[in-house]
Structure 1
Amino acid sequence: MEGYSEKQLGIILVAERLFADKGFHGTSVRDIAQEADVNIAMISYYFGSKEKLLEAVFRYRMTASRVFIQELVDNDTMGPLEKIYSLVDRFTNKMLNEQHFQCLMNREQMNSEPSPVKDLIWELKTEMMGLMVPIVTRAQEQGIFYKDVDIVLLMSTLFGTLHQVVPAKSYIRSDPEFANLPDDEFVEYLKIRVSAHLKKLFKAILTHEF
């Protein structure tokens, strides 16, 4: 993972929140400096520019995912379906715990202008796809997974579902069943519910078992 100091990490996390709440162009370096309780010169010293700070936010969040996926692929003690389930849990937790980042990521992916951040997003997605292919294809060769699996759409199903759950959280929360449930307990409930749904779906697609 990127070797950020405590001060740099504090700036990154403040920038992430402000970029998500106000948009990249609606957030000034002065806004970030005030929220992070640092001077503007320090942000310039650490990151060079607001654009480079945005890039640092993405590198910080995405490096951990890259390491996790590589370790998952290299793990010889887990079965293929267990690896898929681990991936589902990882990204369900990540998206529901890092909602500012998910908001920012969605905004950047919808941005029609080319940017280093967009390149980073697609670089990671391409890398993830390249790492997931061996997990699925090896299991297919062993007769564990069915042959008729579209891996690209499988990953799109994972991320598409999770991206929809985040904005739908308030709708689900409006159910009277959750009226008195603290926010942190509701998020944990939602993680379990979404993860169970995705695992059931993936098992059906990969093994034709329900």
Structure 2
Amino acid sequence: MEKEKIDKKDHILDIAEKIFSELGYDGASTRTISGEAGVNMAMLNYYFGSKEGLYLAVFERKISAFRTLIQNIGNDGSISTWDKLERCIDNYVDRIITNTCFQKLINRELSLNTRTELADKMVDILMSNVLEFKKIMQEGVDDGSFHADADLEMAIITIFGTKNYLINSQQMVSIMLGNNVRDEAYLEADLKPRMKTYMKRLMKSYLVKQ
């Protein structure tokens, strides 16, 4: 019975993620989501309480999966600090390139000033992942493999900021790269490995003592 409840919640979250990504927070309605998910409004409200609660549940599920992955990499004592950061970058790029709709949704909601409470909750969730990146970078400083005077905050902003520019300035980026960054095949075959190589070379040259 418990597994059935979990499966039902996951199904609702899958549908809600799709609709929120397509329509945005304002454009999506819990009635539309419940209809597409094949559940009644009472069940949706029972699980999530409100539209905001449902949105944050979608958001938290997406972000927490990556957080767990980063934590597992960070706790791996068999690899160097740089190897940890390298793996984090690889996994980060994999997720942002294959989930551009969700990334746009994040940026759109955070750019609005009309729902500061929702934005604050989103930022709190996102910051947990940012802090996992910083923890690994700080480990490199502490163990002497990274430069002691490295500006870790700016390094993190560079990683996340590159993603934001790629996703929010697609027309300009397409012209710069000479390819349509809305093309799934191009994203997977070309942009993803290109971005991984760039970010890792950039971070290694800045952080790692040669």
TM-score higher than 0.5: yes
| Over 6 Å off, 4+ runs | 174-177
Q: Is the 8 A contact 2:89 2:196 kept in 1?
A: yes
Q: Is 1:187 the equivalent of 2:194? A: no
Higher mean alpha-carbon deviation, 136-145 vs 43-52, is at 136-145
- Structure 2 residue 204 is the aligned partner of structure 1 residue 203: yes
List aligned pairs for 1:47-126, cutoff 5 A. 47-112=48-113, 113-116=115-118, 118-125=120-127
Deviation at 1:159, TM superposition (A): 0.7
Contact 1:149 1:206 in 2 (8 A): yes
Q: Could you tell me which runs of 5 or more consecutive residues in structure 1 were left unpaired when the two chains were aligned.
A: none
Q: CA deviation at 1:171?
A: 5.4
1:92–1:191 CA contact under 8 A, matched in 2: yes
- Between stretches 141-150 and 64-73, larger displacement belongs to 141-150
User: Displacement, 1:19?
Assistant: 2.0
**Distance verdict in 2 for CA 1:55–1:117, change over 3 Å:** farther
**1:117-156 matches, cutoff 5 A:** 118-125=120-127, 127-156=128-157
Spell out, residue by residue over 1:27-65, the C-alpha distance to the aligned partner (whole angstroms, 9 max, x if none). Answer: 222221233233333322322211110111111111112
Instruction: Please state how far the C-alpha of 1:176 moved relative to its aligned partner.
Output: 10
Alignment match, 1:38:
39
Distance 1:175 1:207, change over 3 A: closer
- Secondary structure of the corresponding residue to residue 38 of structure 1: coil
Q: CA deviation at 1:132?
A: 3.6
* TM-score using structure 2 length: 0.82
Report deviation, 1:175.
8.6
Q: What's the counterpart of residue 164 of structure 2?
A: 163
Structure 1: how far apart are the matches of 2:173 and 2:26? 31
1:13-32 → structure 2 map (5 Å cutoff): 13-32=14-33
Question: Does the CA contact (< 8 Å) of 1:95 and 1:102 recur in 2?
Answer: yes
The aligned amino acid for 2:11 is G
Q: Partners in 2 of 1:123 and 1:22 — Cα distance?
A: 22
Q: In structure 2, how many angstroms separate the alpha carbons of the residues matched to 1:145 and 1:176?
A: 32
Give the TM-score of the pair, scaled to structure 1. Answer: 0.82
- Contact 1:58 1:117 (C-alpha < 8 Å) held by counterparts: no
Q: CA deviation at 1:148?
A: 2.0
1:38 and 1:170, CA in 2 relative to 1: closer, same or farther beyond 3 A? farther
Distance 1:31-1:61 versus aligned 2 partners, 3 A rule = same
Q: State the 1:85 CA deviation.
A: 1.0
Deviation at residue 207 of structure 1 after TM alignment: 2.3
Q: CA 1:134 to 1:184, structure 2 compared with 1: closer, same or farther past 3 Å?
A: closer
1:123 to partner: Cα distance: 4.2
Q: Distance in 2 between matches of 1:96 and 1:193?
A: 11
Which stretch shifts more, 107-116 or 62-71?
Answer: 107-116
- On the 8 A contact 2:25/2:109 being kept in 1, the answer is no
